Amino acid sequence: MKLFEHEVKEIFRANGIAVPPGRVVSDPAGAVVAYEWLHVPSVVIKSQVLVGGRGKAGGIRFAASAGEAAEVTRNLMGFNVKGEIVKSVLVEPRLDISKELYLGITWDRSARAPVIIASASGGINIEDVAHESPEAIKKIHIDPDLGFEPFVGRELAAKVGIPREHSQKFAEITGHMYALFVRYDAELVESNPLALTGDGKLIAADARLNILDDALFRQKEFGAKASDRLSELPLLERKAKQLGVQYVELDGSVGIIGNGAGLTMATLDLVKYYGGEPANFLDAGGGSSEESFLRALGVLAENPKVKLIFVNILAGITRCDDVARAIVKAKTELGLNKPLVIRLAGTNESEGRKILSENGMSAYSAMEEAAKEAVRVARAGEAST
């Protein structure tokens, strides 16, 4: 779950990380009040949306008077920033920035540890820096059992080339960010840019904190708001989340449904191995009922990229007859007309096969054979379009 910039900055401010003063407003009159409250000659007006790249998309603008702040805010309200509609803006002083740094913390799953990432080349093109000049990106892993120690921040400052007079403050900010990373069950804490200002201060000019979805039950303050943050997701992923279905869109043509995350991932791998391109990850759940499986089929039925649906069921708590009935209902009630390749094995398998047979369908027993057939039929569908 992503937090809005203004929410993250409030957290930063309360935990010892300097951020610019600012106000969130949703209309031109509010922008005028914010401009006059700040008492500065120029302000930055930042769209509060849950996507990156706002600056390049026109979602961050400047104003040098109260009237200009009102006009900019009027133009930004309802503005589309990479698929998100602006409903509020953050008005802050325009900083005198002498140097833009990058500082972030995320998980390195290969190392099974948090990794702190820093660069002296921060700003809107940090992704380009990582691609074109990887040597400019410095990383230090943190042992979760030992946690963060101040010398790590100082070591990172030296690697990045932070001037000696600022290295201690940089280390302190790094420590505060790591503490937030742990406290909020984060997958990412980031400041880009972490600005070194003309008067020698280190200020988080931008701030990001993404909470792991699986930890929202612990982060009750934000877990209650999770349903309000679905606008960041593609339409079908949004619908699937509202239905309680684990669904991620990919770029291929083979729609995939499994029961259990491990089986579903293995199905994606097998389809890829046999030369197909998965269109999605969709885990209907290890104990999925007829109703939940029908909902899952309904999501895939709406995906125009899907040329074929590969249903792969290894039933335990899930029952094959429930899955079979859901497939029949999807055809009769949802109007599902995409080709289907079905593999059924496990609990009530014979009952499930009988239901399919009575409705003109059949099922494979072997996962490999079903995957090969799914790839073949999907390719045929692509060739005919």
| Catalytically annotated residues | 102, 190
CA-based nearest residue to 288, from 243, 331, 248: 243
Backbone angles phi, psi at 285, to 5 degrees: 110, 140
Element containing residue 288 per DSSP (H, E): none
**How many residues are given for the chain?**
385
Neighbours of 177 (CB within 10 A): 27
* Cα atoms found within 13 Å of the Cα of residue 157, Cβ hemisphere only: 21
Number of H helices, E strands in the chain: 13, 17
Neighbours of 310 (CB within 10 A): 32
Give yes or no for a cis peptide into 278 (omega within 30° of 0). no
Residue with token string 């930063």: 12
Concatenated DSSP letters of 223-287: HTTGGGGGGGS-HHHHHHHHHT-EEEE-SSSEEEEESSHHHHHHHHHHHHHTT--B-EEEE--TT
CA 246/CA 257 separation, integer angstroms? 10
Concatenated DSSP letters of 183-212: HTTEEEEEEEEEEEETTS-EEESS-EEEE-
CA 231/CA 249 separation, integer angstroms? 15
CA-based nearest residue to 44, from 57, 53, 35: 35
Q: What's the DSSP call for residue 328? A: H
Angle at 242 between CA 332 and CA 355, to 5 degrees: 25
